[in-house]
Amino acid sequence: MNARKLRAAALVAPIVLFLATDAFAWEQEAGLRVRVGDPTGEFGQWVTDPGVGLGAHYGVRPLSPLTIGLGLDFLIYGQEKTRLSLPLVDDFDLTTENYLGSGFLFAQVRPLSGPVQPYAEGRLGMNYLWTESKLEDRGFFDDGDIARKTNYDDATAFWGVGGGLLIRVRECAPEDCSPGVLIDLKVLRQQGGEAKYLTEDGVEIVDGAPVFHPVESETDVTTYEVGVVLTF
């Protein structure tokens, strides 16, 4: 088993243990966020445009100021579309997209419980970078995917720190089972390890065959996120 697989196993094991605990006895929350990711450091030298995506988490509060949990994030950090024309058939679009997905454990310290709740957050997890191409028929009656393939992928560990504000919109009301609702504003700096990945110009078609030009660097990203958290 290689080093990357060992690191992945070491991070997955705590998640399994976490899910095996009696977490449902504690106050729970679930959140969904829209994310804008700004590549920084070496990653920013190769990927110059910001990425967009979504994030989600589930957490429990075993102690009053502390929330722990797990989450999933993803970003689309590059896209390239090429028009293909073949004899005697309709035109096609070849779309290549670059993705960064993350699975993580997090701990959040929230010292205040009023209508505005500042917090600090730390994360530990795995990044998965992959590039996917799809061929789409541009015909009027048969528009849709013809083929889809993952061209290149890699994984690496990361850690992140940041903070934000939770703004209460509605109190949790146990008597009528209504969840509490909070607006979530977050900034996070994610320090990613080295990985090989493709950029927007990383796939070249030569004599009808794809030629890949991967780059290798650390995968640091600063994200700006807006979302909603439900407590219950």
Q: At 87, phi and psi to the nearest 5?
A: -60, 140
Farthest CA pair distance, the chain: 68
Q: What is the pLDDT of residue 93?
A: 74
Give which of 177, 181, 154 is closest to 168, Cα–Cα: 181
Mean pLDDT in residue range 142-164? 84
| Mean pLDDT calculated for residue range 130-139 | 77
CA pair distance 100, 222, nearest whole angstrom? 13
pLDDT of residue 44: 95
pTM: 0.80
Q: Residue written as tokens 């994610």?
A: 190
Return mean pLDDT, the chain: 84
* Nearest residue to 78 (alpha-carbon basis) of 40, 42, 39: 39
pLDDT in tens, 165-185: 999 998 876 666 678 899 999
pLDDT tens-digit map of 5-28: 555 555 555 555 555 555 556 789
b/e code 138-154 from CB counts within 10 Å (16+ = b): eeeeeeeeeeeeebbbb
pLDDT, residue 204, reads 73
38 band by pLDDT with thresholds 50, 70 and 90: very high
* CB-CB neighbours of 225 under 10 Å: 21
Span 43-68, average pLDDT:
93
Task: Answer yes or no: is pLDDT of 205 > 60.
Answer: yes
Q: How far apart are CA 199 and CA 216, in angstroms?
A: 10
CB 169 within 8 A of CB 184: no
The radius of gyration computed from the CA coordinates of the chain, to the nearest angstrom, equals 21
pLDDT on residue 94: 74
- Specify whether the CB–CB gap between 154 and 196 falls below 8 A: yes
Instruction: Say which DSSP state 140 is in.
Output: S
- Phi first, then psi, for residue 71 (nearest 5°) are -160, 170
* Residue 207 vs residues 46, 151, 173, 204, 210: alpha-carbon distances, Å: 26, 18, 65, 10, 8
Mean pLDDT check: name the lowest of 90-94, 149-153, 223-227. 90-94
Tens digit of each residue's pLDDT (9 = 90 or more) over 56-97 = 999 999 888 999 999 999 999 988 777 666 655 566 777 889
The pLDDT assigned to 23 comes to 52
Out of 171-175, 181-185, 202-206, 223-227, pick the least confident.
171-175
